[in-house]
Structure 1
């Protein structure tokens, strides 16, 4: 049994990770800002899930987070840096600067602060797994993806550089990079609650779903200590990278 810390566990990928890892026989520390959702998840999954409210954008809370946990839960075997979001799809010159700042605070600062808080214990024990949630947006550009894609490119490079620091240690780091995933709040959040716009993203297609991403995470965690998956890119069969855009007169 491993102790697995999942950030952003109140919905979507995070909730799917929590359910899958508990089903796999592990115990999960589920973090997020929406306390009532964490409590509902704990009621659903039982004693192997510990709800632990946390806002990853609050650096002071993250730094002291381990000390707030019951002592028996403080050894973190797996860190899942899942908390993240996309906001807006307007062209860069029309984008809301507050949206940019929030994506950077959550997708980059929150991830690195959580990693810095948990990694020393893994290094001391020479054992651990870090799963970072990236995106195909960190590899393939698209209109309106500017800062979101930039934050996910950071996730990829940060993950690879962690491995460079950790070479020779039994600490594995993987950047999981999904493409289109339905069944989460991702698009509702991106469009600030506009349900029609969110639904249009997935109209007429069969996207991946959060359980598909949790399946990949479960497999990675189950691998032997000497085997590291640097990055895993996932898309539904209805999606692929496209040709370069060319504007002609």
Structure 2
């Protein structure tokens, strides 16, 4: 049995226009899945879709703001019209707004919750009924190591991010318990520090933080491009058929020391 093979599956990836989402879409395609690419930046999605089509898979770019219900409803309808099924949903869209509760504006707090939590809820709301109808689904929610760990240095406080990523874990276990009987698994991943569009102009520019991270992390480095894909593929394939409601941290050991 090809435990990690995804041939014949359709994967939906949010946050697919860059970073970890784009990397995951490439991994899904490499393992045989057709892919729906969901994000706000249509031009980037078109470019990635063209790349994936060159590898012999179907790729559908869908411009969508996951925090807007009308956008999500229309996006899922278009995906179903095109593929007629959704087997895998990777909820990767997210933002990391800096600041503590004293400095965050209500608008910044709402933006974090809208994209990181509301967007995930809306995608699940409109995808899950199709999975239940076919009695199959793999949902993978991207949380963060910062759902349980925080930064002490004031310049790196991200209280809205902490709260929103902790909410992702709560949503994951709730859904996992509710939909296991429908043969739908729901799991979450807590990445540590990876270089991406989100981090390259923030954490990676903070020299003292990077030195601290490399010193304290048993792996002595941040995550490299593609190193999250193995965990994503595990949760998205038959390799995890009896695993649901779980949270795997992928951080080179940072959270254990």
Is the Cα–Cα contact under 8 Å of residues 62 and 75 in structure 2 kept in the other structure? no
Alpha-carbon separation, structure 1, partners of 2:188 and 2:77: 27
Shift of 1:195: 7.6
Which of the numbers 97, 102, 105 marks the counterpart of 1:93? Answer: 102
Is the Cα–Cα contact under 8 Å of residues 149 and 255 in structure 2 kept in the other structure? no
Aligned length: 235
Shift of 1:200: 6.2
Task: Mark the CA change 1:200 to 1:70 in structure 2 (over 3 Å): closer, same or farther.
Answer: farther
Q: Mapping of 1:1-249 within 5 angstroms? A: 1-46=8-53, 47-69=57-79, 71-88=81-98, 90-143=99-152, 144-182=157-195, 184-188=196-200, 191=202, 196-197=205-206, 201-202=209-210, 205=214, 206-224=221-239, 226-229=241-244, 230-237=246-253, 239-240=254-255
Structure 1 segments of 4 or more deviating over 6 A? none
Q: Which runs of 5+ in 2 are unaligned?
A: 1-7, 215-220
Shift of 1:133: 0.4
Task: Mark the CA change 1:209 to 1:96 in structure 2 (over 3 Å): closer, same or farther.
Answer: farther
Q: TM-score, normalised by structure 2?
A: 0.84
RMSD: 2.2
Alpha-carbon separation, structure 1, partners of 2:242 and 2:72: 29
Is the Cα–Cα contact under 8 Å of residues 100 and 147 in structure 1 kept in the other structure? yes
Shift of 1:226: 3.8
Alpha-carbon separation, structure 2, partners of 1:49 and 1:21: 11
Q: Which runs of 5+ in 1 are unaligned?
A: 243-249
